[in-house]
Amino acid sequence: MSGRKPRSTATGRVTMQEVAKAAGTSMISVSRAFRDSAMVSPELAARIKEAAAALGYVPDRAASALASARSMNVAVVIPSLTNTVFVEMLAGIDEILSPQGYQMITATSFYAPAEELRLLRGLLAFRPDGVLLTGIDHLPETLKLLTSSARPAVHMMELNNQPGSYSVGFSQEEGGAAIARHFVERGYKKIGFVAAQLDPRTLARGSGFRQALEAAGLGAPRELMVPERSSIALGATLLDRMLAAYPDTDAVFFCNDDLAQGALFRCQRRGIAVPGQVALAGFNDLPASACTTPALSSVATPRYQIGREAAKMLLELMAGRVPASFRLDLGFTLNIRETS
Amino acid sequence: MSGRKPRSTATGRVTMQEVAKAAGTSMISVSRAFRDSAMVSPELAARIKEAAAALGYVPDRAASALASARSMNVAVVIPSLTNTVFVEMLAGIDEILSPQGYQMITATSFYAPAEELRLLRGLLAFRPDGVLLTGIDHLPETLKLLTSSARPAVHMMELNNQPGSYSVGFSQEEGGAAIARHFVERGYKKIGFVAAQLDPRTLARGSGFRQALEAAGLGAPRELMVPERSSIALGATLLDRMLAAYPDTDAVFFCNDDLAQGALFRCQRRGIAVPGQVALAGFNDLPASACTTPALSSVATPRYQIGREAAKMLLELMAGRVPASFRLDLGFTLNIRETS
DNA sequence: GCCACCCATGTTAGCGCTAACAGCGCCATA
DNA sequence: TATGGCGCTGTTAGCGCTAACATGGGTGGC
């Protein structure tokens, strides 16, 4: 149906060379017109654009990256694609990087530090101009690889105090502590903590929660910690197990909203009064949490903003500038609702 | 803290040349050892790996892509990162492609066909070995660009009958129709349809739903269709609006589970009996839907499998083979639960 | 004992683009 | 009218890697 593609090179692609010939100019002018049309005269730019469109020219980033030192790629490693928290962060990153011409190259570590190292090695083959990693707990080799790559990097979600290290996030400990203080304030005494997917952030929330309870003179919480992936269904199961083990529990902090929502749904089904018999609180404040009846108390985390700010910080670093801060605390919001 | 990086090239990177020298061999052997170590003798391979590790060599995909015509990249365009359906599909794709050494290069079109075209153009600059697109409704220019790029492509989520076009998905119309038939079977008469984010798939569900109702002798449903992004909160609002406009409505099909869950939550809050006063059904069967009380009826869609199968099909095409089928229908499951 | 063949390895010549450095013409200034 | 500077355009030389074609030494058949 379509005419033959113009081609002269071995690979059959339309190259800059051909565009140059068609526009009656040199390759370098085509290159300049595409990268920043202000570098050539308006007439030449127009002629080049026209010739390129007519030929169906598509630039080759690989060749460009090879010839210049810039790839316009940013490597991003997140633990999981099935956790909205990280995906929203990704959306924030892309929203900032994409308009600047940068392409995210992402990989999923499944929460495994060794896998993160392997993935980073693979992503560095793209010669990214910058790197975005989730969390601050990495294998020593990962850190070494990062320094030896000489690429600017920003860590997301948690805050880092290491000199020379950049991070954007909030204090997970403080988030956990905020829930604890809220429970104490409300007068709950027999308090439980339920966690799954025991990644560093989950553990940090737990330790903040625990410390705040102790500081308030309450002993250690009843704990239920399982390594499995968090899910709504698991939250229901874990609520059952917690109440079976400690029937008099009057408040439970779930390390994330998936678990907390599952627990709330289970209470609804079993006819357990919330917060009458047992109070519930979660973490992350997923959209559903504000809509359930009773509405779920949760710690709202700024993951979308973290993505945006981390991307902005990386942009600064990639431009060779020094960011305003090397450690950006975006905080969190304690949303007390009806379950506590 | 670490010693100086070995370097001799202008860019300061450790190159294959240096690895070759250190291993006492030629570049091509290093290249072969890295791509398929069976191409060199075991001893040489070991020596090369060792030298590479000692020098901290990281291969350069840009150079490789330029020299070989294969980029080992796959371009993926999805409408949104904030809709789990597409993200789960992405996870399925990555699970298949990643072990084969392919890197996904993704972009988000925000449901805009013109944006999709722009993004595809950008992604083609990566010279991907294959392309994965969401849906079958594309701009004519997008299709033209796709053919002129001469890259194998697979369309996901919907099914396509165009000759020469590959697709993996299920019939959205049939999904909508299944809900309609279920409502009819249960004896509901005053039926409503609520939709948001009016993308082609949403509209297809609606038209399937409508046709099946008519086929059953029921007239057109009461409809509420808004262009805004779907969300749980919007589902609550739309339920209110539907019941305000048609108080006697006895069953409502929401075009996705976000809306349906929001509606259910709103019914819980307002004390509206579900399904006693009004029956509810959604689409996609998100994890929460099975856990609410009453549990939500929904059409379970195989988005994760779609991602996997589309990736497998693309793998076949990229290998120059002909896939078993050019149109893979993965079907759906109607999960009747308590809301209807 | 010669030759075809095969395996492991090496040499050469780019892939498509851009950095770096020329040129060239034109205008403002002395 | 000479001089310097500026804005635009062009030439040259790679960036790091791999395809394609050598090369060299061993093996087996007759």
pLDDT in tens, A244-285: 999 999 999 999 999 999 999 999 999 999 899 999 999 999
Q: Is A61 on the interface with B (CB under 8 A)?
A: yes
State the DSSP code for B321.
P
Do residues A302 and A285 lie in contact, with contact meaning Cβ atoms separated by under 8 Å?
Answer: no
Give A13's pLDDT tier (boundaries 50, 70, 90): confident
Count of CB atoms within 10 A of residue A337's CB? 18
Selected residue with higher pLDDT from B218 and A7? B218
Alpha-carbon dihedral of residues A190, A196, A202, A204, nearest 10 degrees?
Answer: 50
**Nucleic strand C under 7 Å from the C-beta of B47:** no
Do residues A7 and A21 lie in contact, with contact meaning Cβ atoms separated by under 8 Å?
Answer: no
B203 lies in the same domain as B320 = no
Strand order in the sheet with A279-284: A222-225, A191-195, A251-254, A279-284, A297-300, A333-335
Which residues in chain A are contacts of B115 at CB distance < 8 A? none
Work out the average pLDDT over B139-149.
94
Work out the average pLDDT over A162-186.
95
A9 within domain boundaries: no
Q: What is the largest CA-CA distance in chain A?
A: 84
Q: Is A8 on the interface with B (CB under 8 A)?
A: no
Give B11's pLDDT tier (boundaries 50, 70, 90): low
| Cross-strand partners of B282 | B298
Q: Find the nucleotide nearest B64 (Cα to C1′).
A: D17
pLDDT recorded at residue B10: 52
Work out the average pLDDT over A85-93.
98
Q: What would the two tokens of residue A56 be?
A: 């169906």
Do residues A325 and A168 lie in contact, with contact meaning Cβ atoms separated by under 8 Å?
Answer: no
Count of CB atoms within 10 A of residue A325's CB? 12
A92 lies in the same domain as A164 = yes
User: A217 to each of A203, A213, A220, A222, B91, how far by Cα in Å?
Assistant: 21, 7, 9, 15, 45
B1 within domain boundaries: no
B84 lies in the same domain as B153 = yes
Which residues in chain B are contacts of A236 at CB distance < 8 A? 291
A338 within domain boundaries: no
Q: What is the CATH number of the domain that holds B221?
A: 3.40.50.2300
B33 lies in the same domain as B44 = yes
A258 lies in the same domain as A287 = yes
Burial letters B284-315, b for 16+ CB under 10 A, else e = bbbebbbbbbbbbbbbbbbbbbbbbbbbbbbb
Query: Beta A130-134 vs A103-108: how paired, if at all?
Result: unpaired
Which residues in chain A are contacts of B290 at CB distance < 8 A? 233
Cα–Cα distance between B270 and B309 in angstroms, integer? Answer: 43
Give A11's pLDDT tier (boundaries 50, 70, 90): low
pLDDT recorded at residue B69: 85
pLDDT recorded at residue A195: 97
Taking 60 as the threshold, does the pLDDT of residue B5 lie above it? no
| B125: amino acid identity, one letter | A
Identify the three-state secondary structure at position A297.
strand
Q: Find the nucleotide nearest B58 (Cα to C1′).
A: D16
B27 lies in the same domain as B90 = no
Direct distance between the N- and C-terminal alpha carbons of chain B, in angstroms, rounded to an integer: 66
Please write the tens of the pLDDT for every residue from B76-120: 999 999 999 999 999 999 999 999 999 999 999 999 999 999 999
CB contact under 8 A, A65 and B62: yes
pLDDT recorded at residue A10: 52
**How far is CA B38 from its chain centroid?**
36
Please write the tens of the pLDDT for every residue from A145-173: 999 999 999 999 999 988 889 999 999 99
Taking 90 as the threshold, does the pLDDT of residue A98 lie above it? yes
Phi and psi, residue A126, nearest 5°: -85, 0
Q: Is A83 on the interface with B (CB under 8 A)?
A: no
Geometric angle at alpha carbon B268, from B230 and A271, rounded to 5°: 130
A107 within domain boundaries: yes
Query: Whole-number mean pLDDT of chain A?
Result: 93
Residue B252 CB-density burial (10 A; 0-12 exposed, 13-18 middle, 19+ buried): buried
A185 lies in the same domain as A286 = yes
A206 lies in the same domain as A165 = no
A11 within domain boundaries: no
Do residues B223 and B255 lie in contact, with contact meaning Cβ atoms separated by under 8 Å?
Answer: no
Cα–Cα distance between A164 and A145 in angstroms, integer? Answer: 15
Token pair 């025991």: residue = A198
> Residue B78's closest CA among B146, B158, B140, B133?
B133
Do residues B186 and B164 lie in contact, with contact meaning Cβ atoms separated by under 8 Å?
Answer: no
Do residues B328 and B309 lie in contact, with contact meaning Cβ atoms separated by under 8 Å?
Answer: yes
Which residues in chain B are contacts of A107 at CB distance < 8 A? 98, 103
Q: What would the two tokens of residue B250 be?
A: 């006895």
Of all residues in chain B, what percent carry a pLDDT higher than 70? 97
Direct distance between the N- and C-terminal alpha carbons of chain A, in angstroms, rounded to an integer: 67
Query: Beta A327-329 vs A333-335: how paired, if at all?
Result: unpaired
Which residues in chain A are contacts of B104 at CB distance < 8 A? 106
State the DSSP code for B9.
S
A95 within domain boundaries: yes
Helices (H), B250-302: 257-270
Task: Name the closest residue on chain A to residue B288, using Cα atoms.
Answer: A232
Work out the average pLDDT over A105-120.
97
Q: Is B334 on the interface with A (CB under 8 A)?
A: no
| A270: amino acid identity, one letter | R
pLDDT recorded at residue A1: 30
A286 lies in the same domain as A310 = no
Q: What would the two tokens of residue B322 be?
A: 């002909």
Do residues A45 and A53 lie in contact, with contact meaning Cβ atoms separated by under 8 Å?
Answer: no
Geometric angle at alpha carbon B275, from B243 and A236, rounded to 5°: 115
CB contact under 8 A, A287 and B82: no
Burial letters A216-227, b for 16+ CB under 10 A, else e = eebeebbebebe
Cα–Cα distance between B60 and B52 in angstroms, integer? Answer: 13
Provide the CA A31 to C1' D15 distance, Å, integer: 16
Residue ranges making up the domain that contains B101:
71-170+303-331
Q: What is the number of structural domains in chain B?
A: 3
Helices (H) and strands (E) in chain A, counts: 12, 12
A203 lies in the same domain as A159 = no
- Torsion sign over Cα B79, B82, B88, B92: positive
Q: Is A81 on the interface with B (CB under 8 A)?
A: yes
User: B184 to each of B207, B251, B272, how far by Cα in Å?
Assistant: 16, 10, 21
B185 within domain boundaries: yes
Residues 251-270 of A with CB under 7 A from strand C: none
Please write the tens of the pLDDT for every residue from B37-60: 889 999 999 999 999 999 999 999
Q: Which residue is nearest to nucleotide C9 (CA to C1')?
A: B29
A153 lies in the same domain as A89 = yes
Phi and psi, residue B104, nearest 5°: -75, 135
Taking 80 as the threshold, does the pLDDT of residue A197 lie above it? yes
Q: What would the two tokens of residue A313 be?
A: 């910080």
Q: What would the two tokens of residue B11 be?
A: 């860019």
pTM comes to 0.93
pLDDT recorded at residue B4: 31
Please write the tens of the pLDDT for every residue from B276-315: 999 999 999 999 999 999 999 999 999 999 999 999 999 9
B33 within domain boundaries: yes
Selected residue with higher pLDDT from B11 and A199? A199
> Residue B268's closest CA among B293, B288, B291?
B293
DSSP secondary structure letters along B112-137: -HHHHHHHHHHHHTT--SEEEEESS-
Q: Is B78 on the interface with A (CB under 8 A)?
A: no
- Interface probe for B, chosen from A4, A126, A338 (most Cβ of B below 10 Å), is A126
A86 lies in the same domain as A142 = yes
